[in-house]
Amino acid sequence: MKILLTTLCLLATPFAHAQSADWSGFFKSWEQGCRLDRAPFKAFEESLVELIRQKVAPQADVRPSIKLPAAYHVQAASKPTFHRVTIDDYTIDQIRLALKGTYYGLPVVHYSHTFHLETAGQVNYRLLLDTPLAQAQRVLAGKYQSRRFANPVLEGKTEILQAELLPVNINGKQQTILECVMTDG
């Protein structure tokens, strides 16, 4: 009997670790005007920016250097992907990290950090959800608040930061981007 219980426990252990993460708590700060400076998101974001600076080789396993709470670490890919696109003389760089799990019950595809060097370093933070926009709007209705602040880079001009849902069609599949967006105030 003891051997049977031990065997069952050992067999069940991988399933406990393979359980999908609920990323809702990790991205909770986005609900309060995209507060990107809150832990643990800030540490995660800084670790991705450091990978960009290091120009990490695509085959490198960088999981140990990506700062995520233990519950999320196994749900993130071990290797981010790097993308560079030039559109109308603007270079857009992006780092993407594939994720497993859900965000308020909606399937998550990846997190991305996009920056535009030619536009004063404009940065976009995005979470790609594997669901059509209408379903994301129903599930996430009323969750996101905007936040006003004086931007010292723009001589104190007031700006608004907020999360917004955007439709996207990837390879014929309707999905939704949750993006932190800076707008004029």
Using pLDDT thresholds of 50, 70 and 90, give the confidence band for residue 183.
Answer: low
pLDDT at 14 over 80: no
pLDDT at 48 over 50: yes
Tens of pLDDT along 127-180? 999 999 999 999 999 999 888 877 776 676 777 888 999 999 999 999 999 998
More confident residue, 36 or 25: 25
Highest mean pLDDT among 15-24, 102-111, 114-123: 102-111
Using pLDDT thresholds of 50, 70 and 90, give the confidence band for residue 38.
Answer: confident
Question: pTM of this prediction?
Answer: 0.80
Residue in 183, 74, 69 with CA at minimum distance from that of residue 124: 183
List the Cα angle 41/78/70 in 5-degree steps. Answer: 50
Provide, rounded to the nearest whole percent, the portion of the chain with pLDDT above 90: 39
Using pLDDT thresholds of 50, 70 and 90, give the confidence band for residue 3.
Answer: very low
- Residue-wise burial string across 80-95, b where 16 or more C-beta atoms lie within 10 A, e elsewhere: beeeeeeeeeeebebb
Q: How far is CA 54 from CA 44, 60, 134, in A?
A: 16, 12, 39
Q: How far is the C-alpha of 11 from the C-alpha of 5, rounded, in Å?
A: 10
